[in-house]
Amino acid sequence: MTRAAGIRQVALGAAGILLGVFIVFPFLWALSASLQTELAIFRRPPSWAPAPATVANYLYVFTGRIPEGYAVRGLLRSAITQEARLLPAGLRNSLEVALGVIAVNLTLGPLAAYTFARERFPGKEIAYFFILGSRLLPAVAVAIPIYLIVKTAGLLDTKLALALIYSAFTLPFTIWVLTLYIRSLPIEVEEAALVDGCTRFAVLRRVVIPLARPGLAAIAAFSFLFSYSEFFFALLMTSSVKAKTTPVVIASISVNPDSSYTLIAVGIVVSIIPPMLLALLFRRFITSSLVASMEQA
């Protein structure tokens, strides 16, 4: 019996290692490639670990200093893509857009969700289902009209346009999650506050928001991950360094046949650090609110 249990443990452990490799190997390979020279990566088979490791590719992206290896190969012009130099700006644009979307979700979201959760008013059901149902539309179906709206408003190639679009796309999920969350909170404290003469808004601010902090953390995380990752609308709406976000920049680096493999790898590594950190830090909030919203559905 103990022997069978031991075999079981070993088998499960091996399966766990296999899973770990499946998850982590692609990331490690991108990291390794980003620290190599172009010459090393072209070997067959490639060198798996960077030997010697070089941060020259990162230096190029962030300071413009051209790595030595390229000059040696005499492929200076073809192997270095100017687009890679847009990466710092793209990162900054992405973060700014994402922070804007978080701000909109954390202000409009709780206000509307609290009203949906606790108030009764004519048209409430219709408004609620309209907001939630809007997420069923495939993005490509509304892309052209949205482009025209943005163009008419004179907001093409601005971060503001992206922040507005992403807010409209994230608010439905925010309101859904927060409404469910608020409904699950004990109502007695709120009622006591109302009896004491607080307004709805005061109850929201003083009672509900402090209680709903885990839900709000999850909302902030989802808003960030969505806005940071969105590609399709960013591709359509932006055209310059003013507003191009990280996914647009790294996509244009990677589909450029002249791009150097190592610079593409730098793009990956830089682009995935913010969302990965966020996912690891906010893991508990993300999973618990995903699970809660699914159970209520």
Partner 1 sequence: MSTPLGLRRAVLWRARRAGASPAYHALTVIPVLLLVGLFTLFPLGYAAITSTRRVLLTLPGSTPFIGLRNYAQVLHDGTTHVAVTNTLLFAALTVPSVIVVGFLVALLLHQPIRGFGLLRALVLLPWSIPLVSAGIIWRLLLHGDFGALNGLLYQLGVVHSYVPWLSSPRLAMQAVALAHVWREFPLPAILILAGLQVIPREIMEAATAEGAGAWARFWHILLPWLKGPLLIILVYETMISVSVFDLVYVLTGGGPGSATTLFSWHTYTSTFTFLNLGHGAALSFIMAGALVAFIALTLRLIRVEARSA
Among 62, 80, 61, 60, which Cα is nearest to 70's? 80
CA distance 27 to 22: 10
Nearer to partner 1, 65 or 130 (CB): 130
CB of 58 to partner 1, least distance (A): 16
Residue 216, token pair as written in the block: 């709000």
Nearer to partner 1, 65 or 283 (CB): 283
Give long-range contacts, CB 8 A cutoff, 24+ apart: 292-297.
292/177, 292/180, 292/181, 292/184, 293/176, 293/177, 293/180, 296/180
CB of 31 to partner 1, least distance (A): 10
CB of 41 to partner 1, least distance (A): 6
CB of 254 to partner 1, least distance (A): 5
Nearer to partner 1, 80 or 175 (CB): 175
Nearer to partner 1, 43 or 77 (CB): 43
CB of 194 to partner 1, least distance (A): 4
Among 250, 234, 248, which Cα is nearest to 162's? 234
CA distance 39 to 18: 31
Contact 85/241 with Cβ under 8 angstroms? Answer: no
Nearer to partner 1, 66 or 139 (CB): 139
Nearer to partner 1, 45 or 52 (CB): 45
Nearer to partner 1, 129 or 213 (CB): 129
CA distance 179 to 150: 30
CA distance 34 to 29: 8
Nearest 10 degrees: Cα torsion 9, 11, 13, 17: 180
CB of 121 to partner 1, least distance (A): 4
CB of 51 to partner 1, least distance (A): 15
CA 295, distance to chain mean position in Å, is 24
End-to-end, the C-alpha distance of the chain in Å comes to: 43
